[in-house]
Amino acid sequence: MGTITTTDGTEIFFKDWGAGRPVVFSHGWPLNADAWDEQLQLAASNGFRAVAHDRRGHGRSGQPWDGNDMDTYADDLAQLIERLDLRDVTLVGHSTGGGEVTRYIGRHGTGRVASAVLLGAVPPLMLKTEANPEGLPIEVFDGIRAGVRGDRSQFYRDLSESFYGANRPGSSVSRGVRDAFWMWSMQVGYKGAFDCIKAFSETDFTEDLRRFDIPTLIVHGDDDQIVPLVAAGAKSAKLVEGATLKVYSGAPHGLTAVAPFRDDFHADLLAFLNR
């Protein structure tokens, strides 16, 4: 574990496990790198160098007033990769982290990147517009903002239900998983959490996706109640030339913590890394 300091003076916390070809994980909102621990151990135990950072405003990273936007998130990721001198990287992004990965490629190219995995990722655009009728109406995101402004602790507890599909019949999600979600969420600074809602919902990644020139695996659950498949993974797969789309039947947004989808993703991730 360590930190880097970005050009605007923000300290970014990261984990760096194992040795080998690097795999860099970007987490979703409102979580931190701990949400990737199982996948970090999986990668490091199978001959890879596994790296994950807390996004600015989240977890153990700094909480600056400014820079809680997708361009800066991507630039922070670029500085982490450059500071650690990582090359031939596989970027793995979940939800907002998938937006961060996508914007990184859009802004910084693929000179250091060998492949990418987008998991339940927000691109190309979550917000419903005339050009993007499959998106979610602004009222959905205004509701999230209201939840953060109000009783954010209870809001995060409630959000964990749909995040992991605990509201579905036969759900196997434990109380412990939902408690961990709440704990990670409460580590997000108020300003960073609030600003990130706009970043993940209103950023258009269409042109960034068109810049992908590397093997790309897109994984999405068809019961994702947070980032609907039809507005996200299905559309991204059409924009990234040669992308492989895998749809997990019945899987929720937080599928990496839910059986049997976690095991399916682990198998697919290892197969992709070792292809």
Give 269's DSSP letter: H
Token digits for 56?
């600015």
- Write the burial class of residue 124 (CB in 10 Å: 0-12 exposed, 13-18 middle, 19+ buried): buried
Q: Are 32 and 60 in contact (CB under 8 A)?
A: yes
Residue 91 CA to residue 241 CA, distance in Å, equals: 17
Residue carrying structure tokens 């996706």:
209
Q: Is 178 left (phi over 0), alpha (psi -120 to 50) or beta?
A: alpha
Q: Say whether 253 is catalytic.
A: yes
- Write the burial class of residue 192 (CB in 10 Å: 0-12 exposed, 13-18 middle, 19+ buried): buried
Token digits for 28?
């979703």
Residue 43 CA to residue 16 CA, distance in Å, equals: 11
Q: Say whether 95 is catalytic.
A: yes
Q: Which of 61, 95, 185, 236 is catalytic?
A: 95
| E runs forming strands in the chain | 2-5, 11-17, 21-26, 48-53, 89-94, 113-119, 216-221, 244-248
Q: Which of 54, 75, 76, 224 is catalytic?
A: 224
Q: Say whether 53 is catalytic.
A: no
Phi then psi dihedrals of residue 49, to 5 deg? -95, 115
- Write the burial class of residue 268 (CB in 10 Å: 0-12 exposed, 13-18 middle, 19+ buried): middle
Known catalytic residues are 95, 224, 253
